[in-house]
Structure 1
Amino acid sequence: MILWTFILWTSCAPQIESPPVTKPDPRILAIGNSITWHPPSAEIGWSGNWGMAASSADKDYFSLLENLIRSKKPEAVFMRENVFPFERGFESFDFTFYNHLKDFEPDILIIRFGENIDSETIEGNMLANSIKDFVDFLADGREMQILVTTTFWPNEIVNQQLILSAETNNWELVRLSDLGSLEENMAIGLFSNEAVARHPGDLGMERIAVRIFNVLKKLF
């Protein structure tokens, strides 16, 4: 009750708009999990080297999003990272593991993870707090625009924390969990491994990219 009262209050509070990124070549970093990028893994029947389970490298959400952003910012610079280790150990994570992401000096950060977080390990607002710590580490004192998405597959407890982190820090929020409730957005029948097949297929990836872009373009 206290959490939802706080969320309701913050959602009604006046929102302070962040100034757009005016530089012609913004550096854009997406941190995620297998939906953002997964290397080949023969044991699960995945041979791609891109976001699972798009049919080709140019059809995962990150590549589609990159193309959409280049329509506004042709000189934008992109980087993505699978931060599964943070998902599984966010309670006491050593962020120096991601020094290379901090060194990229992103202007815009896309937080698109949560599916691998064990909701039973979340106590209070520790996940929201850890996400803020992660962001502060990557920003390293610089101005940085932040966009957070909810999970692809519905997860109420994790999503509460993702939404809380966005609302309390005035970050942009994109809701995706309704997409993961429809099999048409998955790669069902295209992979023998069910876990792989339940990842977003081409249609799901396209819908993720469009939703993120429709919010992200306000930051340019």
Structure 2
Amino acid sequence: MQAEHSVSKNELQNNVPAADQLRISPVRLFPQGGSKRVLFIGNSITWHAPRPQIGWSGDWGMAASSEDKDYVHRLMAALTARYGTLDYGIAQLAEWECTYPDGGHLLTEQFEAARAFCPDLVILRIGENMPKNSAPACRAYFEEMLDFLVPAGADVVVTDSFWRNDARDRMLSELAADRGYTLCRISDLEADDGMMAKGLFEHRGVSLHPGDLGMEAIAERLLAAVTSLWKGV
């Protein structure tokens, strides 16, 4: 059983609904004739459609000020500068985070396009919407999801949580080690309020998401992880 201090107060105060974060398919693909394919598996930090009820008008990673400032697009810009044109896509799994015990059907019904994308690199950046005491028991469901979305031979980078949750972050670290994935730690970022969008949005939950500085910091850490994997590219 988790001690109260093991879960970030920001995660506990996040009241952005995990349901209905998108208006369309939870898969977005951007084929550009690139030499490699990158798939982001994420939640609202990766992509959230406009939701006027909570004061969010963007159609990108919450709570960046513009699409080009969210971590997905900051990372892709940096990777493109180093490796040339790359195809990329997003699989938004916020609904899966809440329904994962019965989530197998969700994967087959809504994420076949992400599976067929056959990425060379997968960025796994989810967890914050899951029940706070779900780890480590939820690991089997992560394994199922990864087996569905990650093709054999793909490089995988796993982040821990933007809002610290010790049990879940430990589970993600162990999962990465056991499967030979690269772990990218970001859970220390929230210690700096400047990494969040506090004061920029009236809605508490939105304001706790990473702002432009937080998004840039996430992208920089992911870039370091990817360039380490792609040294010979």
User: What is the TM-score with the length of structure 2 in the denominator?
Assistant: 0.80
RMSD between aligned residues: 1.3
- CA distance in structure 2 between the partners assigned to 1:77 and 1:205 by the alignment: 21
- Which of residues 129, 133, 141 is equivalent to 1:130? 141
Verify: 1:57 aligned to 2:67, yes or no: yes
Map 1:28-107 onto structure 2 (within 5 A).
28-94=38-104, 95-96=107-108, 97-107=110-120
| Identity %, equivalent residues | 37
The alignment covers a number of residue pairs equal to 194
- CA distance in structure 2 between the partners assigned to 1:98 and 1:80 by the alignment: 10
Unmatched tracts of structure 2, length 5 or more: 1-33
Tell me what 2:25 maps to. Answer: none
- CA distance in structure 2 between the partners assigned to 1:211 and 1:131 by the alignment: 22
Shift of 1:218: 1.9
- CA distance in structure 2 between the partners assigned to 1:143 and 1:130 by the alignment: 21
User: What is the TM-score with the length of structure 1 in the denominator?
Assistant: 0.84
Map 1:115-194 onto structure 2 (within 5 A).
115-122=128-135, 125-140=136-151, 142-194=152-204
Shift of 1:121: 3.3
1:27 and 1:108 in contact (8 A); partners too = yes
Tell me what 2:20 maps to. Answer: none
Shift of 1:93: 1.4
Unmatched tracts of structure 1, length 5 or more: 1-23
Shift of 1:182: 1.7
SS in 2 for 1:146: strand
List per-residue Cα deviations over 1:121-152 (Å, max 9, x = no partner).
34xx4322222221111135x32111100000
- CA distance in structure 1 between the partners assigned to 2:168 and 2:84 by the alignment: 35
- CA distance in structure 2 between the partners assigned to 1:161 and 1:69 by the alignment: 28
Amino acid at match of 1:49: D
Tell me what 1:3 maps to. Answer: none
Tell me what 1:11 maps to. Answer: none
